[in-house]
């Protein structure tokens, strides 16, 4: 560089106006363009606008669908619906005028147009003509399908098969083990995704009309069930929390990427934009640099499965720096908390735990606490002692908060940081920031934190962070209720139809016994336990109140705790979607172990391809439903899903139609004339849904009805708007959210602490805790890191969801061909360049999966990441034979690879992935793998 | 104001402009006006005044000429920026100090976005009451952000001289010199080499060469002017 001072000054000053930009340091705050997310006026005109609810993912966003000549031409957001607009339009807006307003729709929602018209959809009932899984089928009529499924016979030339009529017996499965229940339990229903309105309908069919306890073993345990279970063990009957984003100042997200997934992604992303514009601090703890991390103030690339250690480290720092809201924790009851500091909730921090029985010390049902060293009822004092360790009647009792501090102090912040693979300063900084915003800071978490063997413990530990700053139900804090919904199945004073009451199911039967996956069942209550003690043959899951999806197929294969005679799946893809799912095929391939397998599906899914019969069902744009939304939405919301066009393929049926047909042909109670009680027939799906919509229209309280002189008019009012939606202005009430949770929060869970694991015989832990990865026998999972140096993770890209989005050419078109993300440093060490073909394999799956390397710095070293939704081997990507001819296929649907096949099998069970013994979650993030260039 | 302080103020103000220019060159995806402004006659004159007969200027002039080079249009320069700094692939050059300067002998343990190095740099910004905008292109150790930080320090130093607070100005200058020496200088050379290795973009090669040339010289200048200024100290290159 050769110049003079004079020239330098001259040249430099001349550059001052060149390449003007906004700069990259915060010195001023202008309105950012990403806040203005409302789409431009829509140029697409249509003769009809129908409002329904999306099922591109499970966010349940309202859709406004434009239909021209009976064809869907455009999908946008329903402006009445709070998921898709900030604020959503007033509910009394004229529907015609509302059509001029657009809500947003994400890529997945817009692309559902393509899955509706997917040419690879199934169009007629199919019956296998070769062995299960041979890919050979013949078309049959619905009548033949119903007749054979109901009555059974030698259906495949392989011997007699019981039909549904024969299976519906109320004799015991095993008189020696009567707790298993009646033979009717040998019918098992496994929907993949099933939502409100529909799930109550099928529950009624299977549980109340047929009589099986195996009524709805849906997918939740491969999603995030330990998140729900963990939260449920922290609250009184609440299982989902979310930050009040619009008023928070600081949000610490663990294991979730709200700009790509979570519920509802659109609303969370939009609200987070406002949050950031206000100067809110978002921090993302995740081994992968997600879209959300890209928008965060800080990204903390933690080691998988160690979130609880991070949280415990934060707790330690907060305790040592006087950042815990001890006043809140010292309130022992509702009145004390409200009058003492305006809290709507109170904690169990002052309750005393008996160290002999692990139970709360009580006088009758009332917990006892210490007040100035005196034992008193928790209901009678306004404050109680937090740090108690004493003896009462010869029994050592310790207060919950004292137990928590002892637990937290077991490790230093540096030791917690070492477990997490982060710097201690990272933990200290978040502890400092989290505890510097009063009640306007919040910890949130989702799937990434809980789909581990320690998932429920992690969920409880993260949630307790919120309790330590007393933020529950406050504006800007942790929301445990949300706006919720009007009760479509009735039961509230304003609802006209309480459809779960016996009078709505004349002839209702009582299903009872043990579930095939042992969820909500206690091993200690069984004949097997009395004979054999611990361990059980397979795990039992007394706290997994949803179900344990990945455990169903291996249980069928093992015929444990009893054989299943008929499996009915609906829109379900166990093999593709479960960790190590490819190993599950053997469990259902053998007709001797599973005599009858019926799949109800929209396409030839990987799992449906193993069925005996496939009954083709409708797309959600041809369906009904009353889906709910997550507590992200603070106003009451009842979406209504309805058909927007005539069925694209005429010989398909709604799920409800199929079960009404079966119910009528079997003579089950509760169908046909007066099926829903006197004067209420059940011949069509609308016969059911019109009652549900009427309940929504009338509302939960008397006088809460929508406008309309008659029930029909009220129903129409809701239908035209795609549901019922509370006004946006009603989200808050004073310093709280309007529909706030008003109950206790539990740092210690007595129920959990006093139940033993069915395999180890050990008590579960009632406190926040970090626990390393373990197998079902409680042994550490030690896969040799020198052979398998990487952990494998999955995630949902913003343009994909579950198995089904691969059928959209638009979505696959924006999906990179490079599908295995690996850290740049790791890649360099292995000689892998971006785009190179590579193989990822594990101890459980030596063959591994193959894909193309995506070399990036956005993944923590030692981690490889494969996004979900790719790598189908069926789903229309491969031809099968129908009536002796090959079906059409689209290989692009099967592009890429999936991480699930290489996930680790439990070393003891060897036929199912690692599992959380409490919540029942399948482990997606605890598998070590190796990577090689091929 | 003392004549010496005036000179130093002018020099810091000039430095701020140059750092600001290069920050804007690298900090984000170039918009439609970028190419037009970069190749404008006034800009070329200004760069000529700054860099004399530096061969990179010929490359820029050549690229600006009709039909010259693959960088020579607004769309091409956007594609080049994307391929260099945004999209994983054969041309990717991470514009982040902690990634590019990672010690591969240590198994790539630091080759992660927003790693320890980036957080250390963020703390330096925070010590000066600043934080970068959120977002992938604006991580604390992004080349454009580091240059913006230098711009900020130099501008604040100039303002301090103008306000009659030379001690504060000297502190800011020392902070700038330290940051340049400990972070930006070596990083910019590695970045320039990496861009050159890709062979993708004559324009960004030239701009990176100009940047390193400026930083080399500025580093020398900071060294030569360390301590209290002497009368008539030459505070610039040439």
Domain boundaries, chain A: 48-116, 126-220+502-626+649-707, 241-479+742-753, 790-933
Size of interface A-B (CB pairs under 8 A): 200
- Is domain A241-479+742-753 given the CATH code 3.40.228.10 in the classification? yes
Strand partners, A905: A913
Structural domain containing residue B78: 3-224
Residues of B with Cβ-Cβ distance to A25 under 8 angstroms: 125, 130-133, 145, 148-149, 152
Residues of A with Cβ-Cβ distance to B37 under 8 angstroms: 18-20
Strand partners, A851: A838
Does A7 sit within 8 Å of B90, measured CB to CB?
no
| pLDDT higher than threshold 80 for residue A654 | yes
Half-sphere exposure (CA, 13 Å, Cβ side) for A43? 0
Rounded CA-CA distance B61/B56 in Å is: 9
The model's confidence at residue B135, banded by pLDDT at 50, 70 and 90, is low
pLDDT for A46: 87
Q: How many domains does chain B have?
A: 1
Write out pLDDT tens, residues B224-238: 776 544 433 333 332
| pLDDT higher than threshold 50 for residue A814 | yes
Name the strand (E) or helix (H) holding A14.
Answer: helix A5-14
Residue B222's contacts (CB-CB under 8 Å, 6 or more residues apart) are B173, B176, B177, B180, B181
Rounded CA-CA distance A122/A616 in Å is: 5
DSSP H helices, A291-386, are 291-295, 307-320, 326-330, 334-341
Indicate the residue of B89, B152, B238 with minimum beta-carbon distance to A4. Answer: B238
User: Residue B186 corresponds to which tokens in the numbers above?
Assistant: 């070596």
Does B34 sit within 8 Å of A19, measured CB to CB?
yes
pLDDT for A510: 94
Does B49 sit within 8 Å of A11, measured CB to CB?
yes
Judged by CB atoms within 8 Å, which residues 846-885 of A form the interface with B?
854-861
Average pLDDT over residues A899-917: 98
- The conformation of residue A41, written as its DSSP 8-state character, comes to P
Residue A496's contacts (CB-CB under 8 Å, 6 or more residues apart) are A490, A691, A694, A695, A698, A711
Query: Which residue in B has a C-alpha nearest to residue A273's C-alpha?
Result: B134
Average pLDDT over residues A402-425: 97
CA distances (Å), A212 to each of A170, A499, A682, B123, in order? Answer: 10, 19, 21, 61
B232: in domain: no
Pairing type for strands A366-371 and A362-363 reads antiparallel
The model's confidence at residue A800, banded by pLDDT at 50, 70 and 90, is very high
B19: in domain: yes
pLDDT for A1: 61
Does B236 sit within 8 Å of A5, measured CB to CB?
yes
Rounded CA-CA distance A20/A23 in Å is: 8
Best of A1, A280, A833 to substitute, by most chain B Cβ atoms within 10 angstroms, is: A1
User: Residue A750 corresponds to which tokens in the numbers above?
Assistant: 């007595």
Question: Please, are residues A561 and A885 in contact by the beta-carbon 8 Å criterion?
Answer: no
User: Residue A739 corresponds to which tokens in the numbers above?
Assistant: 């529909």
Residue with more model confidence, B92 or A453: A453
The model's confidence at residue B113, banded by pLDDT at 50, 70 and 90, is confident
A336 at B interface, C-beta within 8 A = no
Does B92 sit within 8 Å of A861, measured CB to CB?
no
pLDDT for A18: 75
- Which of A739, A734, A744 lies closest to A342, judged by CA? A734
Residues of A with Cβ-Cβ distance to B107 under 8 angstroms: 825-826, 829, 861
B159: in domain: yes
Question: Please, are residues B145 and B183 in contact by the beta-carbon 8 Å criterion?
Answer: no
Judged by CB atoms within 8 Å, which residues 812-841 of A form the interface with B?
818, 823-826, 828-829, 833-835
Question: Please, are residues A212 and A441 in contact by the beta-carbon 8 Å criterion?
Answer: no
Rounded CA-CA distance B158/A475 in Å is: 45
DSSP string, A402-447: HHHHHHHTTS-HHHHHHHHTS-HHHHHHHHHHHTTSTTSEEEEE-H
| pLDDT higher than threshold 80 for residue B32 | no
Rounded CA-CA distance B67/A723 in Å is: 60
| 3 state SS of A682 | strand
Taking each helix axis as running N to C, give the angle between helix B55-64 and helix B41-51, from 0 to 180 degrees, rounded to the nearest 10.
170
**Mean of the per-residue pLDDT values for chain B?**
83
Write out pLDDT tens, residues B153-202: 999 999 999 999 999 999 999 999 999 999 999 999 999 999 999 999 99
Question: Please, are residues A554 and A587 in contact by the beta-carbon 8 Å criterion?
Answer: yes
- Which of B155, B122, B159 lies closest to B141, judged by CA? B122
Residues of B with Cβ-Cβ distance to A4 under 8 angstroms: 236, 238
- Which of A243, A267, A256 lies closest to A292, judged by CA? A256
The model's confidence at residue B133, banded by pLDDT at 50, 70 and 90, is low
Lowest mean pLDDT among A105-109, B107-111, B188-192: B107-111
Query: Which residue in B has a C-alpha nearest to residue A289's C-alpha?
Result: B113
Indicate the residue of A293, A423, A823 with minimum beta-carbon distance to B108. Answer: A823
pLDDT for A626: 98
Does B234 sit within 8 Å of A5, measured CB to CB?
yes
Supply the ipTM of this predicted assembly.
Answer: 0.81
Query: Which residue in B has a C-alpha nearest to residue A855's C-alpha?
Result: B88
Residue A121's contacts (CB-CB under 8 Å, 6 or more residues apart) are A602, A603, A616, A619, A648, A649, A652
Choosing among 3.30.70.270, 3.40.50.740, 3.30.1300.10, 3.40.50.620, the CATH entry for A126-220+502-626+649-707 is 3.40.50.740
Name the strand (E) or helix (H) holding A275.
Answer: helix A265-277
Distance between start and end Cα atoms, chain B: 26
Does A5 sit within 8 Å of B24, measured CB to CB?
no
Residue with tokens 């706006």: A483
Write out pLDDT tens, residues A573-611: 999 999 999 999 999 999 999 999 999 999 999 999 999
- The conformation of residue A870, written as its DSSP 8-state character, comes to -
Rounded CA-CA distance B204/B189 in Å is: 13
Indicate the residue of B49, B107, B138 with minimum beta-carbon distance to A10. Answer: B49
φ, ψ for residue A465, nearest 5 deg:
-55, -40
| pLDDT higher than threshold 70 for residue A22 | no
Best of A10, A12, A858 to substitute, by most chain B Cβ atoms within 10 angstroms, is: A12
Strands (E), A54-135: 62-68, 71-77, 126-128
Strand partners, A123: none
User: Residue A100 corresponds to which tokens in the numbers above?
Assistant: 């001029």
| pLDDT higher than threshold 60 for residue B69 | no
pLDDT for A2: 62
What is the share, in percent, of chain B residues with pLDDT greater than 70?
83
The model's confidence at residue B102, banded by pLDDT at 50, 70 and 90, is confident
The CB-based long-range contact list for A832-835 (8 Å cut-off, 24+ gap) reads: A832/A931, A832/A933, A833/B90, A834/B88, A834/B89, A834/B90, A834/B92, A835/B89, A835/B90
Does A423 sit within 8 Å of B119, measured CB to CB?
yes
Taking each helix axis as running N to C, give the angle between helix A424-434 and helix A307-320, from 0 to 180 degrees, rounded to the nearest 10.
60
Strand partners, A376: A369
The model's confidence at residue B37, banded by pLDDT at 50, 70 and 90, is confident
DSSP string, B25-93: HHSS---HHHHHHHTSHHHHHHHHHHHTT-HHHHHHHHHHSTT-STT-SHHHHHHHHIIIIIS-STT--
Query: Which residue in B has a C-alpha nearest to residue A423's C-alpha?
Result: B116
**Mean of the per-residue pLDDT values for chain A?**
95
| 3 state SS of A244 | coil
Half-sphere exposure (CA, 13 Å, Cβ side) for A311? 32
Pairing type for strands A596-601 and A566-570 reads parallel
Indicate the residue of A3, A26, A835 with minimum beta-carbon distance to B238. Answer: A3
Quote the distance between the C-alpha of residue A631 and its chain's center. 13
Average pLDDT over residues A847-870: 95
Residues of A with Cβ-Cβ distance to B136 under 8 angstroms: 294
Residue with tokens 């949130």: A444
Judged by CB atoms within 8 Å, which residues 153-212 of B form the interface with A?
none
A18 at B interface, C-beta within 8 A = yes
pLDDT for B132: 63
- The conformation of residue A396, written as its DSSP 8-state character, comes to E
Does B136 sit within 8 Å of A5, measured CB to CB?
no
Q: Which CATH number characterizes residue B63's domain?
A: 1.10.3480.10
Does A857 sit within 8 Å of B96, measured CB to CB?
yes
pLDDT for A6: 84
Which architecture, in CATH terms, is A790-933? Answer: Beta Barrel (2.40)
User: Residue A544 corresponds to which tokens in the numbers above?
Assistant: 């997994």
Residue with tokens 């005996």: A612
Judged by CB atoms within 8 Å, which residues 37-76 of B form the interface with A?
37-38, 40, 42-43, 45-54
Q: Indicate the class that CATH gives domain A48-116.
A: mainly beta
Rounded CA-CA distance A820/A602 in Å is: 29
- The conformation of residue A472, written as its DSSP 8-state character, comes to B
| pLDDT higher than threshold 50 for residue A531 | yes
Pairing type for strands A596-601 and A613-616 reads parallel
Does A855 sit within 8 Å of B88, measured CB to CB?
yes
Rounded CA-CA distance B179/A482 in Å is: 48
Half-sphere exposure (CA, 13 Å, Cβ side) for A24? 31
Indicate the residue of A13, A834, A854 with minimum beta-carbon distance to B14. Answer: A13
φ, ψ for residue A9, nearest 5 deg:
-65, -40
Does B25 sit within 8 Å of A295, measured CB to CB?
no
| 3 state SS of A531 | helix
User: Residue A614 corresponds to which tokens in the numbers above?
Assistant: 């496939």
């Amino acid at each position: 560089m050769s110049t003079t001072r004079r020239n330098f000054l001259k040249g430099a000053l001349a550059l001052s106006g060149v390449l003007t930009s906004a700069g990259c340091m915060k010195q001023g705050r202008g309105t950012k363009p990403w806040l203005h997310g409302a789409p431009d006026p829509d140029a697409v005109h249509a003769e009809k606008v129908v409002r329904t609810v999306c099922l591109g993912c499970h966010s349940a966003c309202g859709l406004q669908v434009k239909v021209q000549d009976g064809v869907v031409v455009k999908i946008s957001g329903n402006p009445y619906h709070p998921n898709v607009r900030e604020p959503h339009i007033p509910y009394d807006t004229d529907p015609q005028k509302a059509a001029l307003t657009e809500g947003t729709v994400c890529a997945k929602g817009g692309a559902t147009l393509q899955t509706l018209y997917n040419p690879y959809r199934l169009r007629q009932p199919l019956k296998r003509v070769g062995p299960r899984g041979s890919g050979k089928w013949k078309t049959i009529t619905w009548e033949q399908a119903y007749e054979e499924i109901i009555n059974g016979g030698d259906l495949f030339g392989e011997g007699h098969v019981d039909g549904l009529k024969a299976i519906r017996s109320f004799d015991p499965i095993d008189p020696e083990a009567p707790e298993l229940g009646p033979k009717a339990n040998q019918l098992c229903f496994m929907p993949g995704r099933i939502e409100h309105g529909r799930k109550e309908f099928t529950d009624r069919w299977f549980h109340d009309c047929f009589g099986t306890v195996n009524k709805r073993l849906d997918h939740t345990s491969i999603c995030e069930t330990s998140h729900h279970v963990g939260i449920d063990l922290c609250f009184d009957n609440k299982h989902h929390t979310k930050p009040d984003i619009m008023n928070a100042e600081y949000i610490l997200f663990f294991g979730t990427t709200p700009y790509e997934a979570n519920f509802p992604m659109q609303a969370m992303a939009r609200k987070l934009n406002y949050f950031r514009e206000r100067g809110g601090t978002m921090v993302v703890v995740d081994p992968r640099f997600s879209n959300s991390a890209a928008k965060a103030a800080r990204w903390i690339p933690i080691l998988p499965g160690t979130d609880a250690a991070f949280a415990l480290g934060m707790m330690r720092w907060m305790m040592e720096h006087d950042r815990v809201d001890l006043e809140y924790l010292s309130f022992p009851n509702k009145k004390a908390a409200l009058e003492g500091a305006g809290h709507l909730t109170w904690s169990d921090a002052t309750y005393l735990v008996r160290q002999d029985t692990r139970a709360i010390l009580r006088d009758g049902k009332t917990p006892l606490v210490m007040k100035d060293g005196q034992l008193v009822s928790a209901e009678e004092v306004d404050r109680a002692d937090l740090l108690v360790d004493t003896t009462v009647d010869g029994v050592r009792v310790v207060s919950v908060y004292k137990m928590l501090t002892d637990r937290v102090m077991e490790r230093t912040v540096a030791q917690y940081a070492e477990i997490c693979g982060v710097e201690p300063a990272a933990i200290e900084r978040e502890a400092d920031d989290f505890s510097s915003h009063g009640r306007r800071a919040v910890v949130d978490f989702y799937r990434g934190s809980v789909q581990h063997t320690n998932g429920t413990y992690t969920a409880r530990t993260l949630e307790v962070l919120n309790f330590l700053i007393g933020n529950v139900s406050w504006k800007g804090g942790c929301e445990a209720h949300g706006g919720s919904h009007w009760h479509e199945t009735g039961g509230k004073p304003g609802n006209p139809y309480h459809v779960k009451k016996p009078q709505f199911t004349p002839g209702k039967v009582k299903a009872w016994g043990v579930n095939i996956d042992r969820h909500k069942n206690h091993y200690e209550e069984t004949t097997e336990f009395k004979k054999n003690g611990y361990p059980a043959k397979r795990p039992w899951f007394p706290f997994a109140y949803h179900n344990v999806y990945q455990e169903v197929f291996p249980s069928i294969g093992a015929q444990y705790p009893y054989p299943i005679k008929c499996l009915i799946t609906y829109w379900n893809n166990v093999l593709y979607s479960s960790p190590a799912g490819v190993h599950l095929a053997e469990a259902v391939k053998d007709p001797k172990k599973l005599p009858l397998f019926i799949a109800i599906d929209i396409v030839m899914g990987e799992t449906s391809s193993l069925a005996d019969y496939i009954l083709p069902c409708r797309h959600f744009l041809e369906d009904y439903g009353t889906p709910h939304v997550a507590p992200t939405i603070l106003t009451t919301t009842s979406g209504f899903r309805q058909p927007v066009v005539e069925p694209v393929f005429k010989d398909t049926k709604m799920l409800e139609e199929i079960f009404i047909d079966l119910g009528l042909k079997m003579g089950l109670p509760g169908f046909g004339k007066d099926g829903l009680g006197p004067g209420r027939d059940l011949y069509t799906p609308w016969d059911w849904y019109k009652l549900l919509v009427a309940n929504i229209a009338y509302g939960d309280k008397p006088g809460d009805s929508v406008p309309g002189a008659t029930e029909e008019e009220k129903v129409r009012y809701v239908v035209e708007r795609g549901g019922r939606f509370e006004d946006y202005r009603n989200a808050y009430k004073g310093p709280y959210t309007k529909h706030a949770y008003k109950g206790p929060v539990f740092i210690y869970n007595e129920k959990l602490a006093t139940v033993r694991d069915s395999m180890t015989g050990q008590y579960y832990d009632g406190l926040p805790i970090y626990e390393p990865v373990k197998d079902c026998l409680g042994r550490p999972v030690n896969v040799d890191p020198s052979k398998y140096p990487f952990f494998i993770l999955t995630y949902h890209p913003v343009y994909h969801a579950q198995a089904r989005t691969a059928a959209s050419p638009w979505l696959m078109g924006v999906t990179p061909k490079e599908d295995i993300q690996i850290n740049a440093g790791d890649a360099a060490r292995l000689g892998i360049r971006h785009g190179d073909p590579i193989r990822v394999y594990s101890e459980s799956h030596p063959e591994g999966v193959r894909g193309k390397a995506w070399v990036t710095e956005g993944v923590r070293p030692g981690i490889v990441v494969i996004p979900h939704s790719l790598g189908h081997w069926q789903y229309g990507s491969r031809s099968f034979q129908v009536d002796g001819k090959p079906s059409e296929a689209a290989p692009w649907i099967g592009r890429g690879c999936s991480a699930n096949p290489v996930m680790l099998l439990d070393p003891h069970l060897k036929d199912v992935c690692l599992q959380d013994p409490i919540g029942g979650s399948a482990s997606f993030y605890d598998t070590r793998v190796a990577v090689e260039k091929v | 104001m003392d004549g010496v302080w005036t000179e130093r103020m002018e020099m810091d103000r000039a430095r701020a402009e140059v750092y600001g220019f290069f920050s804007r060159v690298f900090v984000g995806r170039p918009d439609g006006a970028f190419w037009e402004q970069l190749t404008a006659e006034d800009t070329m004159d200004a760069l000529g005044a700054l860099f004399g007969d530096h061969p990179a200027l010929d490359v820029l002039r050549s690229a600006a000429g009709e039909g010259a080079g693959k960088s020579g249009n607004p769309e091409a320069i956007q594609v080049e920026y994307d391929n260099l700094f945004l999209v994983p692939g054969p041309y990717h050059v991470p514009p982040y100090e902690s990634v590019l300067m990672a010690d591969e002998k240590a198994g790539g343990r630091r080759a992660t976005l927003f790693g320890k190095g980036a957080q250390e740099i963020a703390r330096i910004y925070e010590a000066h009451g600043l934080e970068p905008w959120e977002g992938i292109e604006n991580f604390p150790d992004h080349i454009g952000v580091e240059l913006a930080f230098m711009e900020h320090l130099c501008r604040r130093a100039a303002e301090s001289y103008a306000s009659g607070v030379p001690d504060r100005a000297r502190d800011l200058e020392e902070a700038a010199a330290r940051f340049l020496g400990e972070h930006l200088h070596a990083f910019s050379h590695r970045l320039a080499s990496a861009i050159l290795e890709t062979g993708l973009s004559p324009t960004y090669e030239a701009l990176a060469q100009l940047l390193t040339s400026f930083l080399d010289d500025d580093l020398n200048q900071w060294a030569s002017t360390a301590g209290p200024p002497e009368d008539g100290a030459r505070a610039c290159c040439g």
